[in-house]
């Protein structure tokens, strides 16, 4: 579970560092920076972060390449996190 949470956190950091990804995520979720900070430890929020990438393959592949991970890792992490919800 910790590795899945860590991957979700890495995805969040990657997304927040990219202006376009950050704007799209905030628009889709309606969240603001304070709410993101408050919810980072919530498994449902971590799943939403992973879903954000899983729902758009170009972003998923770019994230995986930047973190040197295989593209199946975010989906596997999501499945682990779903068990904790």
What pLDDT, in 10s, does the model give residues 30-74? 998 899 999 999 999 999 999 999 999 999 999 999 999 999 999
Cβ pair 11, 45 in contact under 8 A:
no
Rg (CA), the chain: 12
Residue spans per domain, the chain: 2-83
Name 24's Cβ contacts closer than 8 Å, sequence gap at least 6: none
Answering whether pTM is above 0.75, one says yes
pLDDT of residue 49: 98
- DSSP annotation of 54 reads H
Burial class (CB in 10 A: 0-12, 13-18, 19+), 29: middle
């Amino acid at each position: 579970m910790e590795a899945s949470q860590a991957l979700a956190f890495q995805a969040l950091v990657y997304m927040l560092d990219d202006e376009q990804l950050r704007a799209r995520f905030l628009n889709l979720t309606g969240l603001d920076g304070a709410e993101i900070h408050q919810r980072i430890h919530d498994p449902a929020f971590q799943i939403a972060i992973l879903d954000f990438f899983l729902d758009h393959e170009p972003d998923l592949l770019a994230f995986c390449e930047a973190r040197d991970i295989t593209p199946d890792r975010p989906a596997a992490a999501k499945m682990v996190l779903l068990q904790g919800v």
